[in-house]
């Protein structure tokens, strides 16, 4: 009976794998499924939010560019009026164009600053989500190892325990208890 248990343990040693490179097939399957689920969840839940934020940012920048273009058109209209009124077309035109260029530059600089901040924020969120997923995976693996070890311990103890060792342990315990009185 004990020889049969020992042969079963030797043939099903949980510390041995079928290959020194590849993990067990079940680990590949479960790891692959877990990866697909995590990536799917990120695509399903984080993807629309990222897409929405990019769309909103694009619309906001386009509005600012349109506003800058409208301001430039208004400035050009004002230049026409001034040209008619004063006759100094070149000087007034240069002033209005410089003002429009300054406004456009300010709008572009502000937009770039906001885009950079939004990208940094999105990257930080993605890193946090990846870190959380990595921690959950590590905890699940640790729990699985504990379950397997708790299942294997009684089998190993039963296989290594013979009648003589059992008697020695009982007698040793009784002598220690008797000496303790």
Locate 142 and state its tokens: 């640790």
For residue 82, being part of any structural domain is answered with: yes
**CA separation for the pair 109, 113 (Å, rounded):** 6
Q: Which domain holds residue 103?
A: 26-152
**CA separation for the pair 93, 78 (Å, rounded):** 9
Classify residue 164 by its DSSP letter. Answer: H
For residue 163, being part of any structural domain is answered with: no
Contact by Cβ (8 Å): 22, 28: yes
pTM above 0.85, yes or no: no
For residue 15, being part of any structural domain is answered with: no
Domain count, the chain: 1
For residue 138, being part of any structural domain is answered with: yes
According to the model, what pLDDT value does residue 11 have?
A: 58
Lookup result for tokens 């490179």? 21
For residue 84, being part of any structural domain is answered with: yes
For residue 111, being part of any structural domain is answered with: yes
For residue 91, being part of any structural domain is answered with: yes
Confidence of residue 7 (pLDDT cuts 50, 70, 90): low
pLDDT tens, 107-154? 888 988 998 989 888 888 988 888 888 888 888 888 888 888 888 888
For residue 66, being part of any structural domain is answered with: yes
According to the model, what pLDDT value does residue 88 have?
A: 65
């Amino acid at each position: 009976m004990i020889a049969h248990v020992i042969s079963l343990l030797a043939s099903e040693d949980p510390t041995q794998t079928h290959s020194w490179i590849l993990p067990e097939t079940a680990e590949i399957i479960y790891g692959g499924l877990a990866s697909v689920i995590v990536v799917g969840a990120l695509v399903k839940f984080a993807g629309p939010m990222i897409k929405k934020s990019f769309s909103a940012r694009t619309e906001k920048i386009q509005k600012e560019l349109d506003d800058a273009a409208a301001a430039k058109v208004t400035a050009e209209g004002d230049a026409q009026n001034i040209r008619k009124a004063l006759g100094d077309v070149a000087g007034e035109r240069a002033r209005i164009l410089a003002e429009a260029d300054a406004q456009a530059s300010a709008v572009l600089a502000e937009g770039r600053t906001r885009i950079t901040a939004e990208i940094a924020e999105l990257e930080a969120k993605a890193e946090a989500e990846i870190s959380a997923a990595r921690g959950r995976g590590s905890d699940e693996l640790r729990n699985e190892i504990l379950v397997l070890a708790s299942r294997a311990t009684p089998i190993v103890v039963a296989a290594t325990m013979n009648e003589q060792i059992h008697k020695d342990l009982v007698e040793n315990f009784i002598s220690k208890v008797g000496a303790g009185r």
